[in-house]
Structure 1
Amino acid sequence: MIGIVNYGAGNIFSLTAALERLDIQYGMINTEADFDQYTHIIIPGVGHAGAAMKKLNDTGLVNAIRALKKPVLGICVGMQLLTAHSEEGDAALLNIIPVNTKLFDKELGIKIPHMGWNNVDTKNNLLFHGVENSAQFYFVHSYFIEYNPTFDIAAVNYGAPFSAAIQRDNFFGVQFHPEKSGAAGEQLLRNFSNLKQ
């Protein structure tokens, strides 16, 4: 059963609608004690990373999240929160995965925000089991996770390569929105829900 960290910075409706379509049970995490009820944890997120981190700090859940041994999935800003630092608000983040979140470089001649469908090059990882390499996923973001081969499990090219998905131990993050990415996104959510603790 999936617990969704409810800290006021996530587009929870589209995520819960996708989980309902997949018949995956879920509930909301509002307090530290709530983590015990769930086998898998999702940190959603939209908007500003600095503001999202402040909201997360205000919940008092930060230390509990850092200590989790269960599978954890950060989505979009939820993925960025797993990193060390974001240029958005010059914010220190959870620092679970030691990479940084940076603003796209307008000088690359790209539109910001990066919005729409992109082909994602995946590595052999349980999160992408049954997902074709170069499958398309839906992105909406102005900041990206710097590419680091140690933690990168999927990459995309938008002006330059960046990490579409990262992993460190039981912590996973995806920059795209699986809940808005059709069959490939649904397969990823199903795979996450099936990860062993």
Structure 2
Amino acid sequence: MVVVLAFSLVAPVSGVSAESNYSGGDANSDQVYQDAQILQDYLTFHSNGKMTFDAESAEKDGVRAELIKQTERDEQKINSSIEENGAKAGVLASCPGVSKIEWAGGFSGILAMDDCLTDQVAYYLTIGAAAATIVSAISAYIKAAPITLVSQIVGGLMAAGAATLSLHNEGSGVYLYFEANSPQDFDFGSQ
């Protein structure tokens, strides 16, 4: 089964819940990219799936209040849900599959997410984490992944939803095939 997601870098991403975006409207990938860039200095993702947000430093550095509040809500939702449910989402002890970005030549490539990262992203989507938080999590996990590309991919993942991502994860992660010269087309595949 192939799923094709359609979205544009500058157009709003449809299918994003109000809980997970900015000012109650559609999140656009330019804003997500900017927010994820800012959050890189203040977020830490732990191997147990929890995250730590240094809100005090972010506030001191002049980070937008709305972004701080959204990220604090994400931190609380993610961490309390993991504590309550013992969620598999971030347990990184055994993670079949690979996580990497690979350029296939020219303008195409593959973003691979192992089983644990796939589960973590699906979990974050399920609880309504903000796009910038999800972009930051993927970028922290796959260091070589350009944040601009990850911002576009997360927009597509939010539109597709956690169920679609989980459907393609057969226990060893997923591949996301992309065309850089046609960023609106993304295909999923199982590893």
**TM-score in terms of structure 2 length:** 0.31
Structure number with greater CO (CA < 8 Å, separation at least 6) is 2
Query: More strand by proportion, 1 or 2?
Result: 1
Query: More helix by proportion, 1 or 2?
Result: 2
